[in-house]
Amino acid sequence: MERLVGKLAPEFRMNAVKGDGSDFLTVKSEDYKGKWLVMFFYPLDFTFVCPTEITGFSDRYEDFKAVGTELLAVSCDSEYSHQAWIKQSKEEGGLGKINFPIASDMTKEVAKNYGILIEEEGIALRGLFIIDPEGAVRYSVVHDLNVGRSVDEALRVLKALQTGGLCAVDWEEGDSNL
């Protein structure tokens, strides 16, 4: 697979459901031009690790918004599955309302273009991509299916990228650049 970091992000157009489950929409890469985007893929709805990540990002939504960044979750499930998961209570194994849309990559084309499709299973690895306002991939991390990502680390890297400078190991907001 060709590297994505430093290159224009593959374009996408997907059906999605609003984070409150109220309606469907179409999300496309052009919608995010001029904005930072954290787009993260997860394997399946109604599973165990996935809701911890999605709700973790949702709980920190205002922190991402405060630095001019949109969030978008993606899986190969249908938008109808996403909606049912959002509308089902957490106590009954559902996701509950979240603060950003979940997109449906039913064709698996987007996961394939981002290099994270497990073709034999028809699902995506846990891939996270930070895309800058010009549409370039500035960061990517891909996890095994069993391991969730760190919202704190995604936010830390995002803020480091936004400085435009050189950031040493363990750089935190407020630290000087090299």
The CATH number of whichever domain residue 134 belongs to comes to 3.40.30.10
pLDDT given for residue 94 in this prediction: 85
pLDDT given for residue 91 in this prediction: 84
50, 74, 102, 167: which one is catalytic? 50
Residue 152: both structure tokens together:
């704190």
Count of domains forming the chain: 1
pLDDT tens readout for residues 21-58:
999 999 999 999 999 999 999 998 888 777 788 999 99
Q: Could you tell me if residue 164 is inside a domain?
A: no
> What are the backbone dihedrals phi and psi of residue 107, each rounded to the nearest 5 degrees, phi first?
-75, -15
Q: Could you tell me if residue 178 is inside a domain?
A: no
Q: Could you tell me if residue 61 is inside a domain?
A: yes
**Residues near 86 by beta carbon (within 8 Å), at least 6 away in sequence:** 17, 19, 20, 21, 94, 95, 96, 97, 98, 102
pTM above 0.85, yes or no: yes
Q: How far apart are CA 139 and CA 46, in angstroms?
A: 28
Q: Could you tell me if residue 35 is inside a domain?
A: yes
Task: Find the radius of gyration of the CA atoms of the chain.
Answer: 16
50 is catalytic: yes
pLDDT given for residue 25 in this prediction: 97
Q: Could you tell me if residue 3 is inside a domain?
A: no
Q: Which domain holds residue 122?
A: 13-149
Q: Where do we find the tokens 């992000």?
A: 9
